Amino acid sequence: MSRIIYVNGSYRPYADALVHAEDRGFQFADSVYEVIEILGGKLVDATRHLVRLERSLGELGIRTPMGRASLQLVIREVIRRNRVRDGVVYLQVTRGEGPRDFAFPDDEVEPTLVVLARSQQREKNNALAAVGIAVKTMPDRRWGRSDIKTVMLLPACLAKDAAKQDGAREAWFVDSEGYITEGASSNAWIVTRDRVLVTRQLDHRILGGVTRATALDVAREYQMKVEQRAFTRAEALDAEEAFITSATNTVMPVVRIDGQPVGNGKPGIVSQRLRSQFHQCAEISAL
């Protein structure tokens, strides 16, 4: 079965799908995106993801390619045509195409919309969660508006690759004051020795993760203590547990930071509980 991708109004096999070479997403990273988990053929937290997409577009003044209901139909059709049961939907909107010019083209330019769906083995991710992952800290060299989900991902790619060279799966960014901001493609959390969940407050330095928001709902449901505030690398190294949240991982335990074990070096009970209860609290929408 050949995979089908949606590009600007049509569903095509990958080999036939085209985006213009002077698309601003390609030339300037003038573009935003979303990644939504697919669980058993259903979308996880679609509303929160689509609300965030609209916010990202609004912050950058990129036109909305279509209304939320139509976009949902496209997403569903892409999932159906690719027969994805478990995996992710990726959608990207760029400001559109035009002769290369830093200043924006006029309002008539149509935004570019790409939607694809990909299968991912849940078992693999569960097996990883059973042992936990390592993270590597490094300076946060991104721009000052990391709250907008843009495709300006080169600092994240460089950081993830450096982490990979060190046997770590994620990079944790550290700001100029020594506080962890977030992961290269996830939000960062710790559980202190007195069982308080800590994750950075929402500000311009981090993406307001959808998984973060739902994990906070789970924590509330189980009356866990939560503090939304910045924490340092030293505090993380002294923590009982650590974990990351993202649409591709839900809740993933972190067992090593810069080669040093977190807690007893095994996935902790709080992280495991958040992970096991996550989908009970998330919005699961039928297709």
Please tell me whether residue 137 binds ligand PDD under the rule CB under 6 A: no
Q: Which residue's entry shows tokens 């030293």?
A: 234
E strands, 131-279, in order: 133-139, 170-174, 179-183, 187-191, 196-199, 225-228, 231-232, 241-246, 250-257, 260-261
DSSP output for 217-232: HHHHHTT-EEEES-EE
Of 76-84, 108-116, 208-216, 256-264, which segment contacts ligand PDD by CB under 6 A? 208-216
C-alpha dihedral, 157 to 90 to 280 to 236, nearest 10°: 10
Out of 25, 65, 111, 209, the residue judged to bind ligand PDD by CB under 6 A: 209
Please tell me whether residue 56 binds ligand PDD under the rule CB under 6 A: no
Using CB under 6 A as the binding criterion, the count of chain residues that bind ligand PDD stands at: 14
For 217-236, give one letter per residue: b (16+ CB within 10 A) or e.
ebbeeeebeeeeebbebeeb
Q: What tokens appear for 242 in the block?
A: 């650590």
Tell me how far apart the alpha carbons of residues 159 and 168 are, in angstroms, rounded to a whole number.
10
Catalytic-residue membership of 225: no
Tell me how far apart the alpha carbons of residues 160 and 258 are, in angstroms, rounded to a whole number.
13
Please tell me whether residue 271 binds ligand PDD under the rule CB under 6 A: no
Give Dmax (Cα) for the chain: 58
User: Rounded to the nearest whole angstrom, what is the least distance from the CB of residue 156 to ligand PDD in the complex?
Assistant: 6
User: Rounded to the nearest whole angstrom, what is the least distance from the CB of residue 194 to ligand PDD in the complex?
Assistant: 26
Task: Tell me which H or E stretch contains 52.
Answer: helix 46-60
Tell me how far apart the alpha carbons of residues 254 and 135 are, in angstroms, rounded to a whole number.
7
Of 61-69, 127-135, 209-217, 225-233, which segment contacts ligand PDD by CB under 6 A? 209-217
Q: What tokens appear for 45 in the block?
A: 């937290």
The smaller minimum CB distance to ligand PDD, of residues 38 and 97, is found at 38
Print the binding letters for residues 176-205 with ligand PDD: x by CB under 6 A, - otherwise: ------x--xxx------------------
Out of 246, 257, 267, 279, the residue judged to bind ligand PDD by CB under 6 A: 246
The smaller minimum CB distance to ligand PDD, of residues 89 and 239, is found at 89
Out of 64, 125, 248, 285, the residue judged to bind ligand PDD by CB under 6 A: 248
Print the binding letters for residues 8-37 with ligand PDD: x by CB under 6 A, - otherwise: ---------------------------x--
Please tell me whether residue 275 binds ligand PDD under the rule CB under 6 A: no
Instruction: Name the residues annotated as catalytic.
Output: 149
Task: Catalog residues that contact ligand PDD under the rule CB under 6 A.
Answer: 35, 182, 185-187, 207, 209-212, 245-248
